A and B are shown apart, each in its own frame.
Chain A
Amino acid sequence: MNTLPQDDRFITFTLNSEIYAIEVLKIQEVIYIPEITRVPGAPSFVVGVINLRGILLTIVDTSVEFGLMRDADTEYSRIVVVSLGSDERIGLLVDDVSEVVSLKMEDREPLPMLGGGRLSQYAYHIIHYDGIPVTLLDLERIVETVNWNSAA
């Protein structure tokens, strides 16, 4: 969050026609969308669960959290497997994975104040790349949005 990323390389992808970026080091892999098992009763941004080589991976669609509706899956849609530190991973549904870019951290700006959605919980900065605003996503806090164990 406050610490500068170690590596300045980012993977960019499209979500609702906007460009987002996540540090390369946090991306484990990018996969095609397999059959997703829905989990009725889960938070609305949880699309479901998949079997990633014997491990259960929770798939999230962050557009819901950002107050947007995601477009239907296309042939370019992918799941970006993001590592959230200690053994924890989630799959992020994206519309299109674009490229790996080097972003100059000195150029980043704080996230402009935006109404609606909860983007500000998952992103702290934007950066302009080729004149286009790119939102730097930090999904670590997504896990904090739910707390099932409070009852136990």
Chain B
Amino acid sequence: MAFDPNSEIFHDFLQEAGELLEGLNEQLVDLESNPDDSEALNAVFRAFHTIKGGAGFLELSAIVELCHRSEDLFGKIREGQLQLTQEVMDPVLAAVDELNTMFEALQEGVEPASAPAEVLQQLEAMLHGGGAEAAPVEVVAEPEPVVTETVSHSAEDGDDDITDDEFEALLDQLDDSSEGDDLSSSAGFVTDVLLGGDPNDDITDDEFDLLLDALDGEDSPGDVPQAVASATPSPVEDQVEQVVSQQAPSVDTAVTATKKAAVKQESPVVPSKKGGHASKVESSVRVDTRRLDDVMNMVGELVLIRNRFDNLKQSISSEIVDRTISDLNLLTTDIQEVVMRLRMQPVRKVFSRFPRVVRDLAKKLGRKVKLQLVGEETEVDKNLVEELADPLIHLIRNAVDHGIETPDVRLAHGKPAEGTVVLSAEQEGDHILLTIKDDGAGMNPETLRHLAVKRGMMDHETAMQLSNRALFSLIFEPGFSTKKEISDVSGRGVGMDVVKTHISQLNGQVEIDSEVGGGTTISIQVPLTLAIMPTLMVLVGNQNYAIPLPGIMELFERSLVEVGKVGGREVVRLRDRTYPLIYASQLLDEPRIQSADQRVLVIELTGHSLALVVDQVIGQEEVVIKPLGSLLRGMPGYSGATITGDGSVAMILDIAGMISKKMGNEFLAYGDLGEAKGEGMAA
């Protein structure tokens, strides 16, 4: 069976995709009654996209197939090529039901079989407009033994991506062993793929088993894992190769056999052999992460009480109290640090899945790509490690798909045929810096400028004013994609905005730099931990709000800042840069006031630079992020809430999210005037 229900990745997928699937039903129903809700439409589209991505990684072809079609369908609807009628919705809902069934199977540890032919057909029919043209029956889904001929028919229909892929995967395996492995030049890469304790390896192994069983017609669940783990061609692989060359004059025979086996074989997976790791006495203990979370929560409470004492200190003036409180301070900081360390994990945990991703993708796209991993030992909070996986996968796929050129193009440009993607992690103070750097084609700012106008995101004038950096950041906006054709890898213009949203929710920032012909570098900055955050506490209206400290560059007295006007909007010029002036009161539905206490914060965020007016700055405070109830969890504009030193609640602002929500593209068009047109600006 081509998946390992015990692997961590599999569980992550089950959980994440499961949640999305749960949401889908409701979103779809909402959408049906409200077909013009583009937000909901995007959400549905993305949900299918994400599930498909995860399933593709785990090679759950039945799910990929179903999601792929649904996604295509919603892609068409999104582009206005198709009306979202009930006629369209019915097959989609049927598909979602089918997905649910598949997930139930997965939870039992059984690989789901392909969706019933009718469901796929109906989706297909909608996709090609009008339900009349009946697509040929999807033979693969039939439980009876399949005749080779029929399969080759369906192979011509063009809706057999999966069978092709599967076959390709098989060919890849053979290539690797028999041709002495064209990737072996990148030593780090190969070791990671072949020797890493990565559960992915099991997937390929299992696939081998399956194939062998199918071809030999015997049911030996042989222990092949070690075979692949060696870089030299192993007997097992030779055998596969032999069998394939003998028995498969046409591709279809092998594929049919595999498929038949896949349909028939319903017994649970053979438990994969785990290496004997308990051999020597270890100086560590395994602790349930929930216990760590509990400890972390309690430390959070402790920090809050510490903060409260700090507040009290002002009203009780006694030296001994002061000293005791500062002792408490030191100790709390130490405990906090130690507990944070307990939860740290090396980023290798995420990084380890990428070589495989890059490899498969490069093969599929006919590129030669070497992935270099740097700083895998860097440690970050456990939750953060998990949260980073999705955005990183996306960015890496993007680098391979959009960044690295095909070998002949590269050679023509005087570059080595093999492209390089470097993924690195390093700790910088209280945050971690991740960079994804490719030496591919890079992005042309002029193309982006042109596209921005063409997509109606801004007018020509505004576009001309944007700096290169602002132009590059455009790719993080919804619906903005620089690649014309649609591949099933990336390039639908969905994704980069998801990446940005995701990182912003982690209180992180994304930056992008690119050079035509030289490649693109994307840097992500995220805090080391998600639980405790340094913030600036400010007053807006009559309430306190916490603004995450990373991102706040400078602080000015309001009265010292001169305000100019551009296009009816207020701007300020500070340190040779011009920023739009935004009032926090406006973002937070408070009346705008004038007071001597007002301060202007210079904030630099991905794609946004702005000067934010707050009514008063209260001071710096380390806050403990408290989970919000489900009514408010995930609400745009906030990264959470905290309990302040005096016991009241303060919302933690996500400035970028708040601005996108309140002002959307209007602000974007207006943001970052500084570098390009700064000189002529009134200040």
Contact = CB atoms under 8 A, between A and B. Distances in A.
Pairing of A with B: yes
Interface of A: 35, 37-43, 46, 48-51, 54-58, 60, 88-90, 142-144, 146-152
Interface string B617-633: 00000000011111111
A59 to B, nearest CB: 10
A60 B588 CA distance: 19
A90 B590 CA distance: 25
Contacts of B93: none
Interface string B587-608: 1111000000000000000000
A6 B647 CA distance: 37
Given A42-B632, A56-B626, A50 B23 contact: no
B648 interface: yes
Interface in B370-401: none
Nearest to B644: A51
Contacts, number: 97
Contacts of A148: 632-636
Interface in B633-680: 633-638, 641, 643, 647-651, 658, 661
Contacts of A150: 23, 27, 39-40, 43
Contact of A41 (B628, B631, B637): B637
Given A37-B648, A150-B43, A56 B627 contact: yes
A39 B650 CA distance: 9
Contacts of A143: 630-631
B502 interface: yes
B431 to A, nearest CB: 21
The prevalent SS among residues of A at the interface is mixed
11 contacts: A37-B543, A39-B632, A39-B635, A41-B635, A46-B632, A147-B23, A147-B26, A148-B634, A149-B23, A150-B27, A150-B39
Contact of B632 (A49, A54, A144, A152): A49
A58 B638 CA distance: 15
A39 B647 CA distance: 17
A42 B154 CA distance: 51
A56 B641 CA distance: 8
Contact of B651 (A37, A43, A142, A151): A37
B509 interface: no
Given A152-B501, A152-B502, A152-B505, A51 B649 contact: yes
* Cβ-closest 4 pairs across A and B: A150-B43, A148-B634, A58-B629, A37-B649
Contacts of B635: 39, 41-42, 146, 148
Contacts of B505: 152
Contacts of A46: 631-632
A144 B588 CA distance: 25
Contacts of B647: 51
A34 to B, nearest CB: 9
A41 B589 CA distance: 8
Given A51-B647, A56-B626, 18 more contacts: A37-B641, A37-B649, A39-B635, A39-B638, A41-B636, A43-B631, A49-B629, A49-B641, A58-B628, A90-B629, A90-B631, A142-B631, A143-B630, A146-B632, A150-B39, A152-B498, A152-B505, A152-B634
Which of B23, B27, B649 gathers most chain A CB within 10 Å?
B649
Contact of A151 (B43, B629, B630, B650): B43
A138 B643 CA distance: 30
A108 to B, nearest CB: 28
Nearest to B44: A150
A149 B634 contact: yes
A151 B636 contact: yes
B634 A49 contact: no
A95 to B, nearest CB: 21
A57 B627 CA distance: 10
Contacts of A38: 543
A48 B628 CA distance: 11
A43 B629 CA distance: 13
Nearest to A35: B648
Nearest to A143: B630
A60 B649 contact: no
Contacts of A40: 587-590
B126 interface: no
B611 interface: no
B452 interface: no
Contacts of B40: 150
A55 B651 CA distance: 14
A75 B628 CA distance: 28
Contacts of B638: 39
A50 B631 contact: no
A49 B23 contact: no
A150 to B, nearest CB: 4
